[in-house]
Amino acid sequence: MKLAEETNTTLSLTGDTTCVYDPQGLPINKEKAAAGFDLVWNIISDAFKHSNENCANIAPNVSLKDFFREKLAERSLSHDDRNLVLQLAEMWGAFVGDSWERQSLKWFWLEECLDGGKL
């Protein structure tokens, strides 16, 4: 606690809202971050469904990131909000151990069991 106070570091309790920082190291408003994460998980859910239902028709070079860009373009979001969602979505790569730019949308349905879904 003393180190956190001396370095002006934000702490959170287990189960508390996640602390999210922008690329400059500044904290992002918790409500804005929560809304961004909600949208990330909604698009990931849509990507699972789309991949599962359309696997045969999706080119292998279309990535999860491409899907995110397409879905975000359909929404009326500011440029900053769209960038925030894209930055938050990068965490998917850490979750599965590979870059989301390389994650093929065609085979994305295979990752669904990682989120507790059913094959």
Quick count: other Cβ atoms within 10 Å of Cβ 107?
A: 12
Report the alpha-carbon distance of residue 67 to residue 6 in Å, rounded: 43
Report the alpha-carbon distance of residue 114 to residue 96 in Å, rounded: 8
The pLDDT, as a whole number, for residue 23 is: 84
Report the alpha-carbon distance of residue 6 to residue 26 in Å, rounded: 17
Report the alpha-carbon distance of residue 56 to residue 34 in Å, rounded: 34
Quick count: other Cβ atoms within 10 Å of Cβ 103?
A: 21
The pLDDT, as a whole number, for residue 119 is: 46
Give residue-wise pLDDT tens across range 9-46.
Answer: 877 666 656 788 888 888 898 889 999 999 999 999 99
Residue 8 has pLDDT above 60, yes or no: yes
Give residue-wise pLDDT tens across range 52-97.
Answer: 999 999 999 999 999 999 999 999 999 999 999 999 998 877 776 6
